[in-house]
Chain A
Amino acid sequence: MIKLSQVSKRYPNGYDALSNISFHVEEGEMLFITGHSGAGKSTLFKLISRIEKPSSGQIWVQGKNINRLRESQLPQLRREIGVVFQDHKLIMEKTVFDNVALPLIVIGMPRDEIRKRVRAALGKVGLEGRDQALPETLSGGEQQRVGIARAVINRPSILLADEPTGNLDDDLSDEIIDIFRDFNRVGVTVLIATHDLRQIDRLGCASLELSKGEISAYHAAPAFELTQEHREQSDFF
Chain B
Amino acid sequence: MNFFLRQLQVLFATLGDMRRTPMSSFNTIMVVAIALLLPAYLYIGVKTTDQLASNWEGRPQLTLFLINDISPQEAQLIFQEVQLSPSVAHAEIITPEQGLAEFSLLSATSDQLVDFEEQLEFLGENPLPFSIVLMPKLEYISTDAIKELKLLLGSIDGIDSIRLDLEWVERFGAITETIKRFALILSVLLALGLMLIIGNTIKLLIMNRRHEIEVSKLVGGSNRFVRRPFLYYGALFGFFGSIGALLLLWLSSIAIAPAVTRLVLSYGGNPFLYAFSVQDAFALIGLGIALGWLSARWSVAQHIWRIRPR
Q: Name A's B-contacting residues (CB within 8 A).
A: 49, 51, 71-72, 75-76, 78-79, 83, 85, 89-91, 93-94, 102-103, 106-111, 150, 154
Find the A residue at minimum CB distance from B10: A105
Q: Kindly state the separation between the CA atoms of A102 and B217 in the bound complex, as whole angstroms.
A: 10
A76–B1 touching, CB < 8 Å: no
Q: Would you call the interface of chain B mostly helix, strand, loop, or mixed?
A: helix
The interface on chain B, measured as residues whose beta carbon lies within 8 A of the other chain's beta carbons, has a size of 19
Judging by beta carbons under 8 Å apart, are A78 and B219 in contact?
A: yes
B19-71: which residues lie under 8 A (CB-CB) from chain A?
Answer: none
**Does B218 sit within 8 A of A, measured CB to CB?**
yes
Additional 14 contacts, C-beta under 8 A, given A51-B218, A106-B222, A107-B220: A72-B223, A75-B220, A78-B218, A78-B220, A83-B218, A89-B211, A89-B215, A90-B215, A93-B212, A106-B220, A106-B225, A108-B6, A154-B219, A154-B220
- B215 and A91 form a contact (CB under 8 A): yes
- Bound together, the chains give a CA A72 to CA B225 distance in angstroms of 12
Q: Is B14 an interface residue (CB 8 A)?
A: no
B216 interface residue per 8 A CB criterion: yes
Whether B220 and A91, one on each chain, are in contact in the complex, defined by CB atoms closer than 8 angstroms, is no
Residues of A within 8 A of B1 (CB): 108-110
The 3 closest A-B pairs by CB, nearest first: A79-B220, A106-B221, A78-B220
Q: Specify which chain B residues have a CB less than 8 angstroms from the CB of A109 in the assembled complex.
A: 1
B125 to chain A, nearest CB (A): 95
Q: Which residues of B contact A150 (CB under 8 A)?
A: 219
Q: Decide if the interface of chain A is mainly helix, strand, loop or mixed.
A: loop
CB<8 Å pairs between A and B, sample of 25: A51-B218, A51-B309, A71-B223, A75-B217, A75-B220, A75-B221, A75-B225, A76-B220, A78-B218, A78-B219, A78-B220, A79-B219, A85-B218, A89-B211, A89-B214, A90-B215, A91-B211, A93-B212, A102-B215, A102-B219, A103-B219, A103-B220, A106-B221, A108-B6, A154-B220
Set of chain A residues within 8 Å of B219, measured between Cβ atoms:
78-79, 83, 102-103, 106, 150, 154
Residue of A nearest to B6 (CB): A108
A80: nearest chain-B partner, CB-CB:
B220
Q: How far is the CA of A79 from the CA of B219 in the complex (A)?
A: 6
Contacts of A76 in B (CB 8 A): 220
Inter-chain CA distance A20–B12, complex, in Å, is 50
Distance (whole angstroms) from the CB of A11 to the closest CB of chain B: 12
Report the separation of the CA atoms of residues A110 and B310 in the bound assembly, to the nearest whole angstrom.
29
Tell me which residues across on chain A come within 8 A of B211, comparing CB atoms: 89, 91
Mask: chain B, 286-310; 1 = CB below 8 Å from A; 0 = not: 0000000000000000000000111
Say yes or no: A102 contacts B216, CB within 8 Å: yes
Write the nearest CB–CB distance from A112 to chain B, whole angstroms.
11
Which residues on B sit within 8 Å (CB–CB) of A71?
223
Residue of B nearest to A102 (CB): B219
**A154, B220: Cα distance in complex, Å:** 10
Q: Which residues of A contact B217 (CB under 8 A)?
A: 75, 78
CB neighbours of B6 from chain A (8 A): 108
Residues of chain A contacted by B9 (CB below 8 angstroms): 111
* Interface pair A75/B222, CB less than 8 Å apart: yes
B213 CB, nearest partner CB in chain A, Å? 10
Name B309's closest neighbour in chain A (CB-CB).
A51
Cα of A76 to Cα of B224 in the assembled complex, Å: 13
Assembly CA distance A72 to B1 (angstroms): 20
Give the distance to chain B from A43, nearest Cβ to Cβ, in Å: 12
| A76, B221: Cα distance in complex, Å | 9
Q: How far is the CB of B301 from chain A (nearest CB, A)?
A: 14
Give min CB distance, A144 to chain B, whole Å: 15
List the A side residues contacting B216 at CB < 8 Å. Answer: 102, 106
The listed residue with most B CB atoms (<10 A of its CB), out of A49, A71, A94, A106, is A106
How many angstroms between the C-alpha atoms of A102 and B219 in the bound complex?
A: 7
Chain A's nearest CB lies how many Å from the CB of B153?
A: 68
Rounded to whole angstroms, the CA-CA distance of A72 and B226 in the bound complex is 13
Q: Give the one of B6, B217, B225, B309 with max A CB within 10 A.
A: B309
The CA of A94 and the CA of B20, in the complex, are separated in Å by 12
Question: What distance in Å separates the Cβ of B16 from its nearest Cβ neighbour in chain A?
Answer: 11
Whether the Cβ atoms of A91 and B309 lie closer than 8 Å is: no
A189 to B220, CA, bound (A): 18
Which of A72, A75, A106, A111 has the most CB atoms of chain B within a 10 A radius of its CB?
A75
CA distance A213 to B219 in the complex (A): 26
Q: Which residues of A contact B218 (CB under 8 A)?
A: 49, 51, 78, 83, 85, 89
